[in-house]
Structure 1
Amino acid sequence: MYTIFVGDKPIILTTSVNKETDFKVFLLKSVDLTKVIRLLNTTDVKAVYLVGKNPNKLLKRFLKKLPNVIAGGGKVFNKEGKILFIYRNDKWDLPKGKAEANESIEETAMREVQEETGVNGLSIIKPLPTTYHIFKRNERYKLKITYWFEMQSTFEGDLYPQINEGITKVKWLGKKKTKKAMKNSYANIKLLV
């Protein structure tokens, strides 16, 4: 089973569905994805299930339905155990960005964290779950696939938000402030945090 977010509403890829009333079910093979996205954006439907036969081909089949944007990002901890957050588009988020040519996804994640926050001295601890979300750019829907990594940093300097990317704040948040920030974040970030 895979979850792809449209805003904070999920599209769930699965091979079976139980009867429910607050979501819609479509066949993955023949679904009109634009209609599904519109349905999630404009109605009170809470989720959409796309059903396929082969669990090993669910994601592969879905990925062919939209242009893919590959990104890397980091959930970065400092020596005090605080997590590095950015504030963009009036929401708390983790630093991430699009991969560049000839760059490994790990290099992308570390570069993006540094560019968006000013934090260096990064090391990757382990991979985290990959997230998927649909966004609209130039009147076209695209699927962003973000590969996440847990990182640590010994950085103690000033934080610099990447203003030209719409980031207005960068902060290290402890447990209490992280919990509060998650009330104003994205569903896929909540899953990671």
Structure 2
Amino acid sequence: MYKVFVKNIPIILSTEKKVGDQYTSKKLKDVDFKKIVKKIYDGEILYLNLYHHNEENIEKFLREKLPVVEAAGGLVFNQKRKVLFIHRNSKWDLPKGKIEKGESIQEAAMREVEEETGVKDLVIRKFITKTYHVFKRNDKFKLKITYWYEMFSDYEGELIPQENEGIKKVKWKNFGKTQKALKKSYENIKLLFPKEYLTTHPYDRIP
């Protein structure tokens, strides 16, 4: 199953004809994807499942329907299990950016984290997933596919927001503050976190 976010609203792309009572299901091959994106962008559609019998063809379909921008980023932890966040466009986000010509996806992910936050000594622990979202640039829709890695750094130096990228703040956040930040973040960012970050911590329920 894929989730392609348009203004924080997911289009479900799956091999299942039915994914939930709220969702309208259509065959992937029968739809005009650009028209669907525009309708979601304009608030005319909220719940949509596009299905195809072959899961391997779903991403291929997406890449054919919209121009693709590929990016990479990191979910970064430090030795205190704090998570590295950036604040941009009034949202808490994770550092990421476009993959440059000639560099690997992992190289791009580490470079973007360092450029956007000032954090050094990054180590990639594992690949997490890819996320998909549609954005509008110069009146044209594009699909951003972002490759995400879990990273670690024991860096304790100054955090430096990359101002020319619109980043206002960079913060290490503990468990509780990460939960609060995710309430003011993007739905595709929430997909990267273990489930316990998206539920109430038991200590929060103690009077």
TM-score norm. by structure 1 comes to 0.94
Q: What is the CA-CA distance between 1:21 and the residue it aligns to?
A: 5.1
**How far apart, CA to CA, are the structure 2 residues paired with 1:177 and 1:151?**
19
**How far apart, CA to CA, are the structure 2 residues paired with 1:156 and 1:169?**
16
Q: What is the CA-CA distance between 1:80 and the residue it aligns to?
A: 0.7
Task: Verify: 1:46 aligned to 2:60, yes or no.
Answer: no
The farther-off stretch of 10-19 and 157-166 is 10-19
Q: What is the CA-CA distance between 1:20 and the residue it aligns to?
A: 5.2
Q: Aligned in 2, Cα 1:12/1:19: closer, same or farther, shift over 3 Å?
A: closer
Q: What is the CA-CA distance between 1:24 and the residue it aligns to?
A: 2.8
How many residue pairs get aligned? The number is 193
Q: Aligned in 2, Cα 1:169/1:58: closer, same or farther, shift over 3 Å?
A: same
Residue 169 of structure 2 corresponds to: 169
Q: Give the alignment of 1:17-166 within 5 angstroms.
A: 17-18=17-18, 22-43=22-43, 45-166=45-166
Q: What is the CA-CA distance between 1:57 and the residue it aligns to?
A: 1.2
The one-letter code matched in structure 2 to 1:24 is T
**How far apart, CA to CA, are the structure 2 residues paired with 1:62 and 1:26?**
15
Deviations 1:73-131 (A, max 9, x none): 00011111100000011100000000001000000000000000000110100101111
TM-score norm. by structure 2 comes to 0.88
Contact 2:100 2:108 in 1 (8 A): yes
Q: What is the CA-CA distance between 1:48 and the residue it aligns to?
A: 1.5
Q: Give the alignment of 1:2-13 within 5 angstroms.
A: 2-13=2-13
Contact 1:23 1:45 in 2 (8 A): no
Report the secondary structure of 2:56's partner residue. coil
Q: What is the CA-CA distance between 1:161 and the residue it aligns to?
A: 0.5
Report the secondary structure of 1:126's partner residue. strand
Report the secondary structure of 2:129's partner residue. coil
Task: Extract unaligned runs of 5+ from structure 2.
Answer: 194-207
Deviations 1:9-47 (A, max 9, x none): 111112222285533333212321222122223336432
Q: What is the CA-CA distance between 1:138 and the residue it aligns to?
A: 1.2
**How far apart, CA to CA, are the structure 1 residues paired with 2:19 and 2:179?**
33
Report the secondary structure of 2:26's partner residue. strand
Contact 1:22 1:45 in 2 (8 A): no
**How far apart, CA to CA, are the structure 2 residues paired with 1:55 and 1:166?**
37
Report the secondary structure of 2:191's partner residue. helix
**How far apart, CA to CA, are the structure 1 residues paired with 2:85 and 2:177?**
11
The one-letter code matched in structure 1 to 2:139 is E
**How far apart, CA to CA, are the structure 2 residues paired with 1:80 and 1:35?**
46
**Runs of 4+ deviating beyond 6 Å:** none
Report the secondary structure of 2:180's partner residue. helix
